Chain A
Amino acid sequence: MSPSTSLRAGRAAAGLAAAASLAGAVALHAAQDRWPAPEVDRPALLYARSPAVVRRLVLGYDAVAADVYWIRALQHFGEERLSPPGHLRTYALLYPLLDLTTTLDPYFSTAYRFGSIFLGEPYPGGPGRPDLAVALLQKGLAAQPDKWQYMQDLGFVYYWHLRDYQSAAAWFQRGSELPGAPTWLRPLAAVTLAEGGHRTASRALFEQLVQSDEPWMRDSARLRLAQLDAMDTIEAWNRLSTSGIARPIPVDSSGTRFAYDPVAREITVARDSKLFPLPGQIQAPR
């Protein structure tokens, strides 16, 4: 055999060996999918928690790093919210991730606004931490003091989650005084102060927010309006029930039947409903 023929044969053998090895790896990989390793409920990790340290580590690529942390915050919220029943939802990384995002990009308005909605959302749909939602929005206001949207959102958190109608009205009023603020913000402040806690005032607030330009804000406002409708239905049904008038258990706007308590003879929103929990229905673990 000539040296060149031998070289060619060697190369062909090496090529065949490479292809066979790759095929073996692919086959083993596919086989392992049929017998997967046992699933472990791993706690989510955040290696760098200090915004100051991360800011230095990213060497001027702050905006891209902020985007990465923002996507992680969305994924963390989604994973916790949609986790199986055996998993204890803690949303432990949500605020640190939002804090990192907004430190790296102090003008990331969606992170403040969307983040405050996530943080304020009552447990188990969210961490139920309106205090952190307020802290996040105030951080946003420190970066952009003339952003009326943050003041509107602060008013919303005080109104809906903390039920502090005076503070809510004060934030709506402050927001309405800024240039570019919508005209409905000032009357909303007055209505909030006069009728805070009344469903009519709440409806007025969310009927304005449902017209927002941001799709996520519209979705959130629609959910709140559906919850207000559910509260009306529950109140009407329970009133009739205590008067001894038996009626079939109704279905809420998400298509889920209300839960019936035979002892109290009252209905409430079911745990598997998209409207659960209504304000004050459940406490978050701290």
Chain B
Amino acid sequence: MNAARCVAVAVFRESVRDRVFYNLVIFALLLVGASILIGQLTAGQDVKIIKDLGLAATSLFGLFIAIFVGINLVSKEVERRSVYPLLAKPIRRSEFIAGKYAGLLLTLLVNTAVMTIAIYAVLFFLSRGVPERIQHAWEAPAMDPALLKAIALIYLDLAVVTAVALFFSTYSSPMLSAAFTLGVYVVGQFNADLKRFDQIVDSPPAIFIAKACYYVLPDFAKFDVKLAVVHGIPVSVAYMLSTTGYAAAYVAALLFGAMVIFSRRDFK
């Protein structure tokens, strides 16, 4: 476990060195700029739009980090041949994979946490001075704690994407890993359509394959409660817990799969 922790810390330090957190500056500029402009463009919907924009940007920036850093986690070490001296040390390959994953998850956690603080700060400044009567007409308060539910599920979504990227990174080139991960992400958005495939296709084998894909591929739409939270629609604790369980199970499956593939690779 100690070895995995060392790998995780190294991944985090490397992401700091690779200037991954520069995206936070762009994020902050985007939010502040939008908060100034949007009030003049949107007929009183500035708080809703800042929430939409903040949540979407948190998800999108995180997605880019998860995919483009995730696909390099293992393949870069193999390409640079730095994996040889590393594996010669007393570290199991499974610990290496777990450490790589935990390191990127830590990077994403810091990134998401800073973005969350930025969203709340902008919302605080936007809602300051707005009369109580107007605020009462909003569907959800500006500093709504329920936003944290949407952000938590965004983080889980990123955790699954990172696991997918890491899985592909253990046996394929970065370019192919990026294509595969993006493909899985896009298909995962339309997962519900696969379930209803029998409504448009008559062929039983095609329906069977679509149903199988529906159950096996990750359903990324599950992690999207942004719309509900922004409109003040309650997201139940049961939903949060079941989705967290789903993410944990899926991540575990991908990590174990990655560990098996990586342990079978021959680095001679």
Residue ranges of A at the interface with B (Cβ–Cβ < 8 Å): 56, 59-64, 66-67, 70-71, 74-75, 105, 107, 109-110, 114, 213-216
Q: Known contacts A60-B220, A213-B137; is A110 also within 8 Å of B45 by CB?
A: yes
B133 and A67 form a contact (CB under 8 A): no
B42 and A71 form a contact (CB under 8 A): yes
- Whether B52 sits at the interface, judged by CB under 8 Å, is yes
* CA of A59 to CA of B224, assembled, Å: 11
List the B side residues contacting A70 at CB < 8 Å: 42, 45
- Whether B215 sits at the interface, judged by CB under 8 Å, is no
List the B side residues contacting A107 at CB < 8 Å: 139, 227, 231, 233
Q: Which of B42, B55, B139, B186 contacts A63 (CB 8 A)?
A: B55
* CA of A71 to CA of B39, assembled, Å: 11
* CA of A60 to CA of B161, assembled, Å: 14
- Whether B49 sits at the interface, judged by CB under 8 Å, is yes
Q: Which of A56, A62, A213, A216 contacts B136 (CB 8 A)?
A: A213
B52 and A63 form a contact (CB under 8 A): yes
* CA of A271 to CA of B88, assembled, Å: 86
B41 and A71 form a contact (CB under 8 A): yes
- For A61, A71, A114, the residue with the greatest tally of chain B CB atoms inside 10 Å of its CB is A61
B233 and A63 form a contact (CB under 8 A): no
Q: Which of A64, A67, A215 contacts B42 (CB 8 A)?
A: A67
Q: Which of B44, B56, B139, B185 contacts A64 (CB 8 A)?
A: B56
B186 and A59 form a contact (CB under 8 A): yes
* CA of A213 to CA of B231, assembled, Å: 17
A63 and B134 form a contact (CB under 8 A): no
The 4 tightest CB contacts between A and B, nearest first, are A213-B137, A107-B231, A63-B52, A64-B56
Chain B nearest Cβ from A79, distance in angstroms: 13
Q: From B52, which residue of chain A is reached at the shortest CB distance?
A: A63
> Quick one: which of B187-240 are within 8 Å of A by CB?
189-190, 220-221, 224, 226-227, 230-231, 233
A63 and B227 form a contact (CB under 8 A): yes
A60 and B221 form a contact (CB under 8 A): yes
Q: Beyond A67-B52, A75-B41, A213-B137, list 13 extra A-B contacts (CB 8 Å).
A: A60-B189, A60-B220, A60-B221, A61-B60, A63-B52, A63-B56, A64-B56, A67-B53, A71-B42, A110-B45, A114-B43, A213-B136, A216-B44
List the B side residues contacting A60 at CB < 8 Å: 59, 189, 220-221, 224
List the B side residues contacting A216 at CB < 8 Å: 43-44
Q: Count of A-B contacts with CB under 8 A?
A: 58
Chain B nearest Cβ from A218, distance in angstroms: 11
Q: Known contacts A61-B60, A67-B53, A70-B45; is A213 also within 8 Å of B186 by CB?
A: no
A59 and B136 form a contact (CB under 8 A): no
B56 and A110 form a contact (CB under 8 A): no
Q: From B136, which residue of chain A is reached at the shortest CB distance?
A: A213
* CA of A226 to CA of B227, assembled, Å: 38
Chain A nearest Cβ from B193, distance in angstroms: 8
| A and B contact pairs by CB, cutoff 8 A, 6 listed | A60-B224, A63-B226, A70-B42, A74-B43, A114-B43, A213-B133
* CA of A71 to CA of B38, assembled, Å: 9
* CA of A105 to CA of B49, assembled, Å: 12
* CA of A183 to CA of B231, assembled, Å: 25
> Quick one: which of B46-67 are within 8 Å of A by CB?
48-49, 52-53, 55-56, 59-60
A64 and B134 form a contact (CB under 8 A): no
* CA of A91 to CA of B48, assembled, Å: 26
Chain B nearest Cβ from A70, distance in angstroms: 7
Chain B nearest Cβ from A91, distance in angstroms: 17
B44 and A214 form a contact (CB under 8 A): yes
List the A side residues contacting B190 at CB < 8 Å: 56
A64 and B52 form a contact (CB under 8 A): yes
Chain A nearest Cβ from B168, distance in angstroms: 19
Chain B nearest Cβ from A110, distance in angstroms: 6
Chain A nearest Cβ from B233, distance in angstroms: 7
List the A side residues contacting B42 at CB < 8 Å: 67, 70-71, 74
* CA of A75 to CA of B40, assembled, Å: 11
List the A side residues contacting B59 at CB < 8 Å: 60-61
